[in-house]
Amino acid sequence: MSDYKIETKCIQSGYQPKNGEPRVLPIYQSTTYKYDSSEFLGDLFDLKAAGHMYTRISNPTVEHVENKIADLEGGVGAMLTSSGQAANLMAILNITSAGQNFVSLSAIYGGTVNLFAVTLKKMGIEVRFATPDMTDEEVDALFDENTRLMFGETVANPALTVLDIEKYANIAHSHGVPLVVDNTFPTPILTRPFEFGADIVVHSTTKYMDGHATVVGGVVVDSGNFDWTKDGKYPELTTPDESYHGVVYTENFGKLAYITKARVQLMRDLGSSPSPIAMFLLNMNLETLHLRMKQHSENALKVAKFLEASDKVEWVNYPMLESSPDYELCKKYMPNGAPGVISFGPKGGREAAVKFMDSLKLASIVVHVADARTCVLHPASTTHRQLTDKQLVDAGIGPELVRMSIGIENADDIIADIKQALGE
C-alpha cells in the first residue's frame, strides 16, 4: 500500500475488503467481541495474540482509519483518540512521568498551552517553553537528564510560524529524546514531518482531516524510528510492564513499542477512545483530504495577497507570502502550499478587528478552523483568553489579530465578503 501516491492513499489505504465483503468501511458498532475459547481471550489479555477485546482499547472500524492515517504520515502505527487534546496528552504521558520534564516551542495552540502549563504541571510534569527570542544555546540549556521529549507544531495555531522540523529534530536527538510534532494544520498532504526527522506526530483530526466541522478527534502516529533502548531513559518501554505479566514493549513489539504501549496501557487506563461511527465519518472525509487541502491552499494564498494589497490592513501573516519571515521554511516544508489559515491585523486595532468580524456575511464567527466553510475568530478574546499578556506575546498573538480560516468556496466570493467587511 505505501508505494501509492498520497492522493491514492487518501482513498485506498486502511480498509481493504476481501471477496464479497462490503466495499465501504463498515461501522462495527460493537463494544465487545466473541471468542471460541477462553484460552484465546487469555492470550489476548496477555498481548500474546492479536485481536480486539473491548472497544475502549480497539475496534475494527477505528483500526482501519488508524491504518489509513499511519500510511498517510508514513508511520508504522497510529492510535485514534476522542480529541486532539487527548492525543497530545497521551503522546506525552506515554514517555514522561512525574518528576520529569519536556521542552516545547512556545508558539502552539492555546489549549495545548493550558494542558502543558496547568494540567500536566499538576501531575508533576514540567514543561519548559522555548520562546522565539531564545538562541539555540538557550534552547539547548532547557534540556537536562530528566527531559523526555521536545514538542512543536508544524504550523503553529494561530501564530502560523513554521517549525524548522529538521533543526529541532537534530536538537532533540542530540539530547537523546524524540521530537513530537503536532501536524494538525498542514496534514500529511502538505508535509510529512517523519521525512524530516520527527519521531512522533499528533493531530487534532477535528480540523482539516475531518474538514467539515462534524467530528472531534485526535490521533498519535509513530514513525517507528526512535531507538528507545539507547540511553536507558525510557524504562516504561524497555523494562517489564507488570500490568501485562512482564511484557517488554521494545522486545515484544519492536518498532511498534511506543504506539502499542500507548494503546494497551494508556488507552486502557484513561479511556479517551473515539466512537466507531465518528471514525467512519472521519474516514469518509479523509477520502477528499487531498482535494480539499489543495483548494484551501490556493484560496488562502489569493486572500492573503488581497489583504496584503489592501490599505485597510496593517499587516498580514501567511507563511506562503514572500513577505513572511517564514517563507523559506514554508517552501522547504510545504512546497505545494500552506494550510488555509491566515492571520492579519486590520488598521484600527482591537476595535477594527471586532467591527470587521461583525460585518462579514459569507464568513461566520466560530470557535473552529480548518472547515470547508470560511470562518473567522478573534483569539485574544476567545481561544487564548486564559493566556497572560506574556503568554500571548510568546504565542505570537496581538490584540488586533484576526484569524481567518479560508474555506473551499470560490475565492472571488470570499474576497468580495472581506472587501465589504473592511469597508473598502
Chain residues in the site for ligand PLP (CB under 6 A)? 83-85, 109, 111-112, 153, 157, 182, 184, 204, 206-207, 216, 218
Alpha carbons 272 and 292: distance in angstroms, whole number: 28
CB of 72 to ligand PLP, least distance (A): 17
CB atoms within 10 A of CB 110: 20
CA atoms within 13 A on the CB side of 313: 22
CB of 206 to ligand PLP, least distance (A): 4
Nearer to ligand PLP, 83 or 106 (CB): 83
Nearer to ligand PLP, 334 or 411 (CB): 334
Nearer to ligand PLP, 47 or 284 (CB): 284
Question: What's the one-letter identity of residue 418?
Answer: I
Nearer to ligand PLP, 157 or 343 (CB): 157
CB of 170 to ligand PLP, least distance (A): 23
CB of 283 to ligand PLP, least distance (A): 17
Nearer to ligand PLP, 157 or 265 (CB): 157
Alpha carbons 150 and 241: distance in angstroms, whole number: 25
Backbone angles phi, psi at 33, to 5 degrees: -135, 155
SS (HEC) of 18-72: CCCCCCCCCCCCCCECCCCCHHHHHHHHCCCCCCCCECCCCCHHHHHHHHHHHHH
277-281 contact pairs (CB < 8 A, 24+): 277/27, 277/29, 277/61, 278/215, 278/216, 278/217, 279/59, 279/61, 279/62, 279/65, 279/80, 279/215, 279/217, 280/25, 280/27, 280/61, 280/65, 281/210, 281/214, 281/215
Nearer to ligand PLP, 216 or 237 (CB): 216
Q: Give kind and range of the element (H or E) at residue 364.
A: strand 364-365
Nearer to ligand PLP, 359 or 364 (CB): 364
CB of 81 to ligand PLP, least distance (A): 9
CB of 158 to ligand PLP, least distance (A): 9
CB of 115 to ligand PLP, least distance (A): 9
Alpha carbons 243 and 250: distance in angstroms, whole number: 16
Nearer to ligand PLP, 58 or 83 (CB): 83
CB of 83 to ligand PLP, least distance (A): 3
CB of 109 to ligand PLP, least distance (A): 4
Nearer to ligand PLP, 85 or 310 (CB): 85
User: 341: which strand partners?
Assistant: 405
Q: Which residue has the cell 477512545?
A: 273
Question: What's the one-letter identity of residue 204?
Answer: S
In Å, what is the CA distance from 151 to each residue of 117, 128, 182?
A: 13, 10, 8
Nearer to ligand PLP, 150 or 216 (CB): 216
Nearer to ligand PLP, 151 or 244 (CB): 151
Parallel, antiparallel or unpaired: strands 402-405 and 341-346: antiparallel
- Measured at CB, which residue is nearest to ligand PLP? 84
CB of 105 to ligand PLP, least distance (A): 12
Question: What's the one-letter identity of residue 203?
Answer: H
User: 220: which strand partners?
Assistant: 79, 202
Contact 236, 260 (CB under 8 A): no
Q: Is 329 left (phi over 0), alpha (psi -120 to 50) or beta?
A: alpha
CB of 324 to ligand PLP, least distance (A): 19
Joined together, the cell numbers standing for residue 205 give 483530526
